[in-house]
């Protein structure tokens, strides 16, 4: 991955809910690329775990907010009212769906992405206009593709 | 009326019992197997074990002919998703939620839930006139 200041793109204000492996990775990458990142997790230890893993290092310039990402007041504290983008990547599908809908429909954040593990729920909410990422389906397809490519070599 | 109740905690249990006593048809959905077994000893065959947020499971509850669905789990997000599925997927006429966070009353309405009731708000109102310092 190429890091560096965004020459052709203004810095985005991003709110990320869920400081697990994916959330902390996105936060670190986007921060390094010059964007303004706020990462939210209800577990205060989530941030130190990400730093132990070497993901959220001392160089991370973004903010960390402890609180429930489905709570509008917590989201306000994270600066959602001025956010350009919002990502929900907690371990709970329903929490991600609810947080994303609050971001999209209550705070009118322009770019909202929700991770939903359950393919059926992901499809249902994609149909309702939510931008969803389903790692179950996408991961499975990717692995199958790699397997088949090896097979044909 | 045919009412589906999602969540067999204390609120869901008493609600279902009361609705049955008033002569309504009820299905009570509980995700936890142990809890569902206990509820069945009290309420009989109206209890179904499953996830009220799953379309496939909801389809087995006769939801298409339900007059109303009430979601009363302890988790606001689960209540929201169950009701959105009921409304958008099965076109249930009336959706009612219990919310724990009072600010979710307005948010649930914005997100398509017909009625959202906050026990916290009700209790706060019971303290009226407001406590002043």
The secondary structure of residue B128, as a DSSP letter, is P
- pLDDT for res B129: 74
CB A119 within 8 A of CB A134: yes
Across the A:B interface, residue pairs with CB atoms under 8 Å apart total 47
Residues of chain A contacting residue B76, judged by C-beta atoms under 8 Å apart? 70, 98
pLDDT at B10: 96
Across residues B11-26, what is the average pLDDT? 97
Q: Residue A4: which pLDDT band, with cuts at 50, 70 and 90?
A: low
Q: Do A105 and B89 touch (CB under 8 A)?
A: no
Domains of chain B, first to last? 2-126 (3.40.50.720)
For the segment B32-53, the average pLDDT, to the nearest whole number, is 97
**Averaged pLDDT for residues A24-45:** 97
Q: Are B107 and A97 an interchain contact pair (Cβ–Cβ within 8 Å)? A: no
ipTM attached to this prediction: 0.90
The rounded distance, in Å, linking the Cα atoms of B27 and B5 is 6
Contacts of B51 in chain A (CB under 8 A): none
The shortest C-alpha distance from B78 to chain A (Å) reads: 6
Kindly give, in sequence order, each residue whose CB lies less than 8 Å from that of residue A7, ignoring residues fewer than 6 positions away.
none
* DSSP alpha helix (H) spans, chain A: 21-32, 45-52, 72-77, 93-101, 119-127, 135-152
pLDDT for residue B40 = 97
Calculate the average pLDDT of chain B: 95
Query: Which A positions 63-92 lie with beta carbon below 8 A of chain B?
Result: 70-73, 92
Token pair for B31: 């995700």
Query: Rounded to an integer, what distance in angstroms lies between the CA atom of residue B83 and that of residue B77?
Result: 10
Please, how many CA atoms are within 13 Å of residue A145, restricted to the half-sphere of its CB?
Answer: 6
Which residues on A lie below 8 Å from B103 (Cβ)?
A: 71-73
Q: A73 contacts in B (CB within 8 Å)?
A: 103
Assign residue B111 a region: left if phi > 0, alpha if psi is -120 to 50, beta otherwise?
Answer: alpha
- Mean of pLDDT values over A128-136: 96
CB atoms closer than 10 angstroms to residue B32: 12
- Looking at domain A13-152, its CATH class is alpha beta
- How long, in residues, is chain A? 153
- At B17, which helix (H) or strand (E)? helix B10-21
pLDDT tens per residue, range A63-114: 999 999 999 999 999 999 999 999 999 999 999 999 999 999 999 999 999 9
Question: Rounded to 5, what percent of chain B is helix, strand, coil?
Answer: 50, 20, 30
Question: Would strands A132-133 and A111-115 be described as parallel, antiparallel, or unpaired?
Answer: parallel
Contact A120, B55 (CB under 8 A): yes
Q: What is the pTM of this model?
A: 0.91
The enclosing H or E element of B123 equals helix B119-126
Contact call for A70 and B77, based on CB within 8 A = yes
Looking at the predicted structure, is the pLDDT value of residue A153 above 90?
Answer: no
């Amino acid at each position: 991955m190429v890091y560096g200041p965004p020459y052709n793109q203004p810095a985005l204000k991003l709110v990320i809910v869920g400081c697990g492996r994916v959330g902390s990775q996105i936060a670190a990458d986007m921060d390094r690329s010059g964007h303004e990142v706020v990462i939210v997790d209800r577990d205060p230890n989530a941030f130190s775990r990400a730093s132990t893993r070497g993901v959220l290092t001392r160089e991370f310039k973004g903010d960390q907010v402890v609180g429930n990402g489905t709570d509008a007041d917590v989201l306000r504290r994270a600066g959602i009212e001025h956010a350009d983008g919002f990502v929900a990547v907690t371990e709970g599908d329903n929490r991600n769906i609810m947080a994303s809908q609050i971001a999209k429909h209550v705070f009118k954040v322009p770019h909202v992405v929700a991770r939903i593990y359950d393919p059926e729920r992901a499809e249902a909410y994609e149909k309702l206009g939510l931008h969803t990422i389903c790692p179950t389906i996408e991961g499975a397809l990717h692995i199958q593709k790699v397997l088949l490519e090896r097979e044909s070599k | 009326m045919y009412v589906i109740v999602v969540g067999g905690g204390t609120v869901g249990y008493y609600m279902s019992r009361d609705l049955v006593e008033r002569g309504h048809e009820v299905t009570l959905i509980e995700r936890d197997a142990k809890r569902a077994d206990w509820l069945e000893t009290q309420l009989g065959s109206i209890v179904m074990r499953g996830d009220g947020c799953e379309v496939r499971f909801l389809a087995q509850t006769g939801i298409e002919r339900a007059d109303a669905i009430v979601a009363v789990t302890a988790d606001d997000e689960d209540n929201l998703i169950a009701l959105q599925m009921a409304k958008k997927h099965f076109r249930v006429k009336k959706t009612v939620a219990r919310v724990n966070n009072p600010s979710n009353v307005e948010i649930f309405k914005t997100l398509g839930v017909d009625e959202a009731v906050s026990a916290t708000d009700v209790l706060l109102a019971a303290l009226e006139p407001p406590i002043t310092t």
